[in-house]
Amino acid sequence: MIKEPKTLMLVGFMGAGKTTVGREIARQHQSLFIDVDSEIERLANQSIAEIFVARGEAGFRELETQVLSEVQTFNGIVATGGGVVERSENLAILEQSPATVIYLHGNLESTISRLLLEGQRPLLQEKSAVDFFNLWQQRDPKYQRIANFTVETVGKTPERIAAEIVALFSSNEDELALLQLRSEIDAFDRQIFQLIEKRMQVVSSVAQYKKKFDMKTVQQPRMLKMRELLKYDFEDSKDITDEMIDQIMSILTTSAINKENEQLKR
């Protein structure tokens, strides 16, 4: 059995859901929860945005180091800030801390989408998409370095992510690697279905176009050509066979045709 930690620290890029997931873990596990950014605001008696304006990022990081040092033995769940790995002092604290560190790993696309919805992050207002990509590339190996475990978050609800983390500490050593691999598979499955959902949205637009120009629902030559192109693209793959492509494309095209016919009332 994996020893249950006294202190569980969540790390990850801004917008990874550390605070939301941390609160959910605390709820499911009946633990205490603390957020490093909230503690910094309490210590400075200013909001994060006000601290950045008054003291700059360097001043904010100094406060962050102070708070991080104090909460590393907190009896419960700790959500850190996305930039906690920017300062060597913070990295040292996290690497030497008795806490168990979990990296909430997402992807850049979903993270930026979430940040744009929130719209209240100081660094978000200052950096371009290219800056964010570079920041992502810079921070990811640091998160990996300090983490005891990595949990994939793409396409998962906070409740599901929290449940996976709680499950880590009711598992033995042999089960642990399997749990993390299954976490990755679950994330891939959700990404696949999110893409299918987007595909069906495009199908609706195609149906409107076909209706406008009185086109047939089924474009058989195009469908066959697409399958052949896919088979060509994956001809060297040992896992993606021609049969698999035919089966999956049959499901997708049948669903698309049914949706178009329903939309066009044919």
The CATH number assigned to the domain holding 44 equals: 3.40.50.300
Q: Are residues 199 and 166 in the same domain?
A: no
The position carrying tokens 């601290």 is: 51
> Averaged over 253-265, what is the pLDDT?
84
Q: Are residues 28 and 145 in the same domain?
A: yes
> Averaged over 133-150, what is the pLDDT?
90
Residue 188 lies in a domain: no
Q: Are residues 159 and 214 in the same domain?
A: no
Which residues are known binding-site members for Mg(2+)?
A: 19
Q: Are 80 and 146 in contact (CB under 8 A)?
A: no
Q: Are residues 208 and 106 in the same domain?
A: no
Residue 212 lies in a domain: yes
3-state helix, strand, coil in the chain (%, to 5): 65, 10, 25
Q: Give 117's pLDDT tier (boundaries 50, 70, 90).
A: low
| pLDDT tens by residue, 200-258 | 898 888 878 777 777 777 778 888 898 999 999 999 999 999 999 999 999 998 998 88
- CA separation for the pair 153, 114 (Å, rounded): 13
49 pLDDT more than 90:
no
Q: Are residues 105 and 35 in the same domain?
A: yes
3 pLDDT more than 70:
no
Query: What confidence score (pLDDT) does residue 265 get?
Result: 75
1 pLDDT more than 50:
no
Residue 125 lies in a domain: yes
Residue 219 lies in domain: 195-264
Q: Are 152 and 190 in contact (CB under 8 A)?
A: no
| pLDDT tens by residue, 21-45 | 999 999 998 899 999 999 999 999 9
When divided into structural domains, the chain yields a total of 2
The closest alpha carbon to 36, from 64, 56, 73, 17, belongs to 64
| pLDDT tens by residue, 153-202 | 888 899 999 998 988 876 666 666 677 777 778 778 877 888 898 888 98
Q: Is the pTM of this model over 0.75?
A: no
123 pLDDT more than 60:
no
Q: Give 118's pLDDT tier (boundaries 50, 70, 90).
A: low
Q: Are residues 158 and 207 in the same domain?
A: no
Which residues are known binding-site members?
A: 15-20, 37, 61, 82, 121, 139
Q: Are residues 16 and 103 in the same domain?
A: yes
Q: Are residues 145 and 199 in the same domain?
A: no
Alpha-carbon dihedral angle through residues 97, 181, 25, 139, given to the nearest 10 degrees: 50
Q: Are residues 17 and 139 in the same domain?
A: yes
Task: Give Dmax over CA atoms of the chain in angstroms.
Answer: 69
Q: Are residues 89 and 15 in the same domain?
A: yes
Residue 242 lies in a domain: yes
Which residues are known binding-site members for substrate?
A: 37, 61, 82, 139
Which residues are known binding-site members for ATP?
A: 15-20, 121
